[in-house]
Amino acid sequence: MQNAILQSFSLKYKNVIEEQLAKSIEELQAPALIKEAMHYSLDAGGKRIRPLLVFAVLKAFGHDPRKGLMPACAIEMIHTYSLIHDDLPSMDNDDLRRGIPTNHKVFGEATAILSGDALLTYSFQLIASDETIPIERRLAIVLELAKAAGAEGMVGGQIADMQGEGKQLTLKELEYIHVHKTGKLLIGSVKIGALLAKANEKQKDILSEFAYHLGLAFQIRDDILDLEGDQSLIGKPVGSDESNHKNTYPSILTMQGAKETLSATIEHALHCLKQLDLDTSLLEEITYLVASRNH
């Protein structure tokens, strides 16, 4: 069961992030249709793990988590844009996301593509215009986020994932896909929290290693849920990776092997946190949540 402290923290800051996301979309001087499509996918639910990581890192350093509100919103917008595009007929061709029709099923492909584009670009606008953050730190955050989301990160992982469909990949090749497609944005969330908290270089290195293993664990758990999950909880058909001929940890290592790798990866992430002379209890609880989540 999720720790009561994390439950309270998650509920509080999920509400904070969701209120700000809705406010930011409402403030846009843009056609109503594109705002509606952007809000539709942002409001579809989700665990908000990436923003919570930003907040939890700030909390570990003794800072007010709200210092990271706009960067956290930006990260969630990029994550949401990636889901909209992943679901398109030219990509994964999914009809459901988080238990409701995917964006293109409601608004059509053209509007879905443009709503994803709008979320991506607006994310950088939010950071660049946040005058509560010193300008040099804003630049560093934009750089970190661009690297995490682009060809060196999430987009590169998505391309590698598409190229790997129907092929037998090695474990190293699969790890590359998982770390880039999913892990890089989680790593970026932790790094941005560290930038905002003014972490020193050693602390940044340790947090980066923690986030690497957390991101890998997140995707391994996703692979497991695709075969063993409850469709009513995961919000999409069980076995979709298998039907799309995707390589997964269970397909390469067997289900037992995937679960053992997940456990070892989580332990490595927790070991990293133990090296920090900080109150990392929230980060530890998020790590346990990633390991045991059912959706």
CA nearest to 251, candidates 155, 196, 178: 178
Which of the two residues, 185 and 244, has the higher pLDDT score? 185
CA nearest to 283, candidates 269, 265, 267, 262: 269
175 within 8 A of 229, measured Cβ to Cβ: no
Q: 121-165: per-residue pLDDT in tens?
A: 999 999 999 999 999 999 999 999 999 999 999 999 999 998 998
CA 206 to the chain's CA centroid: 20
Give me the pLDDT at residue 190, please: 97
Please determine, for residue 238, whether its predicted confidence score (pLDDT) is greater than 60: no
Query: What's the first-to-final CA gap in the chain, in angstroms?
Result: 14
223 within 8 A of 249, measured Cβ to Cβ: yes
CA nearest to 68, candidates 159, 122, 138: 138
Tokens of 99: 């238990």
Domains delineated in the chain? 4-292 (1.10.600.10)
Give me the pLDDT at residue 1, please: 41
Please determine, for residue 6, whether its predicted confidence score (pLDDT) is greater than 90: no
Question: For residue 78, what is the enclosing H or E element?
Answer: helix 69-86
Instruction: Tell me the average pLDDT across 221-236.
Output: 73
- Region of 198 on the Ramachandran plot (φ > 0 left; ψ -120 to 50 alpha; else beta): left
- Collapsed DSSP state (helix, strand, coil) of residue 30: coil
Please determine, for residue 239, whether its predicted confidence score (pLDDT) is greater than 80: no
Instruction: Tell me the average pLDDT across 165-193.
Output: 93
CA nearest to 273, candidates 75, 56, 67: 56
Q: What percent of the chain has pLDDT over 90?
A: 78
